[in-house]
């Protein structure tokens, strides 16, 4: 699984030049993970990734995720990444795809809580349908989020929206308040 799905990922990278991981697909999916990587490439963005079907489905969020209930954050779907990528932190060399600094801004498990017509549906089917409900168990992001595709099936533009629950918080701007890696405690500036 995941083999052909990662073709785009591999084609964009030179593994002799970048410290980014190749893939090994060792994770079982009983406790799928999510990760948010803060990535200072040409433009700062936050890569939101969820493990499913042997890969990390991925979206680039220019403004980063929010804790504010109902706040919509544009999330542009990008190519699937290998599951090992979830622990990647470091510098992608100049001239390589996505060149710049990466830290693991948040990481944890998630649960698919998508329900359609009263029935639980798989992540794969929810992605197809363009409507996903995720419960995140991160260090910074907790509780339920909706991920909703805008427009047609071919559209790469999705919205990440915090649901109203006990972890929602309208007062904190989480991306500016909490800037450090959950793995190393480093900020992106410390990698520059
Ligand atoms: Mn990125």
Burial of 25 (0-12, 13-18, 19+ CB in 10 A): middle
User: pLDDT at position 29, please?
Assistant: 56
Task: Residue 179: name the closest of 46, 33, 35 by CA.
Answer: 46
Token pair of 62 as six digits: 């220019």
SS3 36: strand
Quote the ligand 1 centre to 60 CA distance (angstroms).
6
**Gap from CA of 100 to ligand 1 centroid (Å):** 9
User: Which pLDDT does position 16 carry in this prediction?
Assistant: 86
* Residues 123 and 48 sit within 8 Å (Cβ to Cβ): no
How many angstroms is it from 45 CA to the middle of ligand 1? 6
3-state secondary structure of 141: coil
Å from CA of 65 to ligand 1 middle: 14
Indicate the SS3 state at residue 124: helix
Query: Token pair for residue 120?
Result: 């639980």
Q: How far apart are CA 129 and CA 126, in angstroms?
A: 5
Q: How far apart are CA 119 and CA 145, in angstroms?
A: 18
Digit-by-digit pLDDT tens for the chain (192 residues) are 445 788 888 889 998 888 888 765 444 457 899 999 999 999 999 999 999 999 999 999 999 999 999 999 999 999 999 999 999 999 999 999 999 999 999 999 999 999 999 999 999 999 999 999 999 999 999 999 999 999 999 999 999 999 999 999 999 999 999 999 999 999 999 999
CA of 165 to the centre of ligand 1 (A): 29
Cβ-count burial 67-102 (b if 16+ within 10 Å, e if not)? bbbeebbebebbbbbbbbbbebbebbeeebebebbb
Q: How far is the CA of 96 from the centre of ligand 1 (A)?
A: 12
Q: What is the whole-number distance in angstroms between the Cα of residue 116 and the centre of ligand 1?
A: 31
Q: What is the CA(15)–ligand 1 centre distance, in A?
A: 17
Cβ–Cβ under 8 Å, residues 120 and 103: no
Q: How far is ligand 1, taken at its centre, from the CA of residue 1, in Å?
A: 23
Cα-to-centroid distance, 99 and ligand 1 (Å): 9
Check residue 149 and give its pLDDT: 98
Q: Quote the ligand 1 centre to 5 CA distance (angstroms).
A: 18
Which pLDDT value is given to residue 3? Answer: 56
**72 phi/psi in degrees, rounded to 5:** -95, 125
CA of 76 to the centre of ligand 1 (A): 10
pTM of the model: 0.90
């Amino acid at each position: 699984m995941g083999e052909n799905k990662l073709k785009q990922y591999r084609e964009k990278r030179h593994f002799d030049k970048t410290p980014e991981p190749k893939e090994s697909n060792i994770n079982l999916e009983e406790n799928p993970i999510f990760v948010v990587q803060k990535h200072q490439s040409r433009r700062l963005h936050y890569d939101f990734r969820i493990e499913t079907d042997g890969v990390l489905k991925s979206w680039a969020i220019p403004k980063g995720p929010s804790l504010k209930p109902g706040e919509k954050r544009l999330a542009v779907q990008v190519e699937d990444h290998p599951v090992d990528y979830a622990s990647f932190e470091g510098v992608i060399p100049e001239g390589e795809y996505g060149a710049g600094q990466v830290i693991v801004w948040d990481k944890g498990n998630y649960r698919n809580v998508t329900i359609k017509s009263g029935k639980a549906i798989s992540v794969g089917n929810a992605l197809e349908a363009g409507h996903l409900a995720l419960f995140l168990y991160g260090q910074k992001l907790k509780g339920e989020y909706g991920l909703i595709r805008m427009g047609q099936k071919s559209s790469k533009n999705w919205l990440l929206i915090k649901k109203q629950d006990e972890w929602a918080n309208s007062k904190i701007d989480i991306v500016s308040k909490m800037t450090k890696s959950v793995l190393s405690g480093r900020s992106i500036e410390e990698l520059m």
